[in-house]
Each structure stands twice: as structure tokens, then as C-alpha cells.
Amino acid sequence: MKRRSFLAAGSLAGVGLAINKANVFGQRMELIPEKIKAKKLKPGDLVAVISPATAVSDTDDIAKAIEILEYLQLKPKLSKTLLKGSGYKSRSVQERLDDLHQAFADESIKAVMPIRGGYGSAQLLDKINYDLIKKNPKVFVGYSDITAMHIAIYQNTGLVTFHGPVLLSQFNSYTMDIYKKALFGTESIGELKNPESNSIRDAYPIRIIRTGKAEGEIVGGNLSLICSLMGTPFELKFKNKILFIEDVGEEPYRIDRMLTQLRLSGKLNEAKGIIVGKCADCIQKSAISTWDYGLAEVLDMNLSDLGIPVVYGFMLGHTAEQMTIPMGVYSELDVENEKLIIKEPALVE
């Protein structure tokens, strides 16, 4: 698509469906609703492009997002307020909420894809119409700040969503291969491993913190977002789950603070296994040393004595090579063999 023509992709304006403002959150439910799954994507499907967190107003960025959808033979439908304003200032909560609701209400739309993360998704959580989403299951995929929405949607509706690239992600061949397998099929994704390295020093090293195997439903996302939801009706349920966490640009002392919070809350002890994604740029940056430990030491101190399998280094977050992981499906973590096996199909015909 020529960049001058991206506006012809359309918008989500004028869906014309009244949105019931009631929602179902707030009960601190111990049980997640019965699991529901969206239909797999197929060429020609219409995809809503939304920005529930940080705004994206650069037309070149919109063109990059549409380029990915066209490569996948999907048709973009831009949300009503996607191009409103300028710079990266988030639009109002109501505007972002309306875009989300309109995307799920429109029966012609088969997937809802954030163009980027950034900041602000959590502001929507107590206002989302979860009944609407539950009645209109669609593929929903993103990561980073979108973690807040994954947790809230899955735990309040049972809808399996996908922790994976946003539309402005890099999408190299490794990332795209997993992405297509996850979103366009009804078979389980199967085995996920880091890419093969062709250098003398492994470019994608895995470090075993505690060996073993674990099976259970897999949940997780960005560590900062998970911690920010603690003590709210949306805090992530860890019990009997395989937990995956990731972050970027956080100094080791901040990682320690977040893991300490989860440890003191008793949450870490509830998990059956833990995957820590490769943490890019998680090094000390302060001119004055605030904390003498490095990232590896912080992870060992907080995770090695939990009595469960723990591994560091999977490519599942802010990395050029990125796995797509369906939230809430049955999986197996095999630390010794450095692989995650997604055993349950995440989509239906």
C-alpha cells in the first residue's frame, strides 16, 4: 500500500451499536470464567487497529502497521480516534474505551490489534464492558503495556488472548512464523524454543535457575504491569499456573523491588513454574550505585529457592525475536531442554 493511501483503509467510526455501560469486574473472583476461544484468522479478514495506550499519530507509523496486515492478507480498519491529536500523548480514556468497544461490537471485525503499547491501558480496566467482549470473542494480540488488558480480559471473560507483537513490532522471520502459526490455525502451537545461534557465543542464551518440568495454564506478561495491578480486582492469579514475565530497561534494583513485592505477597509460591524473558537493557544506569547486584544475582536471590522450575532468557517480550503466547492455555515448561510446549489449541474454526 502506498503511504499516501493508508487513510482509505477506513475507520471504526459509525459502528452504530449502543454499548451497555455495565461491566462485570470488581468481584475479585477466585475462579476465572469458563474459557472461550475466538475463531482463527483467514486471509481477507477485517482487523481493527486500535491504540489503547500511547497514541500513534505519525502517518508513517500507520503505514508500517498496515504493511504487516497486508503481508498477512488481512484488511485494516482504523479506529475512530487513532489519528486524533499529535505526538504520543494518550487520548482520553473515553475515546480509547469507545474504540475498543466499537471494535468488539462490530461483527465484521475478526481481530483487534493494538498498534503499540506505551502507557495507559490500565486506565481502561474498570470501565471495559466485559460482557460485550465475552459475547463477541475475537483475536486480541499485543504485549508490554497491553499486559493489563490481557489479564483483565482473560480473568473477567475467559477469552484466550495472545501475548505477542504489536503492529509496530519488528516482525523478523522467527517472530512472524510463530505469529502466523498462533493466529491462523486451530492446532496447538506446540514447541517454542529460542532461535538457533550461528555465532561462537550464543546470541540467545538460556540460563537455568532451577531445573525441572511444570504443566499448567500459562499466564503472564510485563512485570511492571503485573505488579501495578497487585491489590486491585485485576491482579493476576498465579495459582497452579506457569508464569511468564518480561521487562525492558529496568535497573536490577527495580527488578528486585518488583520480585520482592510478588514474593512477599505469596504470589510466587503459588506458581508451578516461571519463565523470565530476556530483559534487554536491564543494567545499572545510575551515576551513583543504588544497588550492587546484577540482574542474574537478583533473579537467583528471588527465584532459585521457590522449589519450582525457573528459567531465564526466553525471547518473549521486548526483543527483536519474539514468541506469541496464548494466555490461559495448557502448556508444559521443560527447563532442561530449554523449551515451552503449548499443548492446547488457542483458536477454533
For residue 28, what are the CA distances in angstroms to 51, 144, 155, 229, 241? Answer: 27, 23, 10, 12, 18
Per-residue model confidence (pLDDT) at position 243: 98
Domain with CATH 3.50.30.60 in the chain: 190-342
**What secondary structure does DSSP assign to 290-333, as a single string?**
S----HHHHHHHHHTTSSS-EEEEES-SSSSS---EETT-EEEE
Q: What is the pLDDT of residue 177?
A: 98
pTM of the model: 0.91
Q: What's residue 5's pLDDT?
A: 46
Residue 19: its pLDDT value, please?
44
CATH code, residues 190-342: 3.50.30.60
Grid cell in block for residue 101: 468497544
User: Residue 47: its pLDDT value, please?
Assistant: 98
Read off the amino acid at residue 337: N
Q: Where in the chain is the domain with CATH 3.40.50.10740?
A: 3-12+23-169
pLDDT of residue 3: 46
Question: pLDDT tens digits for the chain (349 residues)?
Answer: 444 444 445 555 544 444 444 444 444 455 789 999 999 999 999 999 999 999 898 899 999 999 999 999 999 999 988 888 666 677 899 999 999 999 999 999 999 999 999 999 999 999 999 999 999 999 999 999 999 999 999 999 999 999 999 999 999 999 999 999 999 999 999 999 999 998 899 999 999 999 999 999 999 999 999 999 999 999 999 999 999 999 998 999 999 999 999 999 999 999 999 999 999 888 887 766 666 889 999 999 999 999 999 999 999 999 999 999 999 999 999 999 999 999 999 999 9
Determine the distance from the C-alpha atom of residue 223 to the mean position of all C-alpha atoms in its chain, rounded to a whole number.
11
DSSP string, 135-154: HS--EEEE-GGGHHHHHHHH
- The catalytic site residues sit at 144, 246, 318
pLDDT at 26: 46
Q: What pLDDT score was predicted for residue 10?
A: 53
CATH no. for 3-12+23-169: 3.40.50.10740
Could you report the per-residue pLDDT of 249-297, keeping only the tens digit for each? 899 999 999 999 999 999 999 999 999 999 988 888 776 666 688 999 9
Three-state DSSP at 21 gives coil
pLDDT given at position 287: 61
Distance CA 128, CA 138 (A): 15
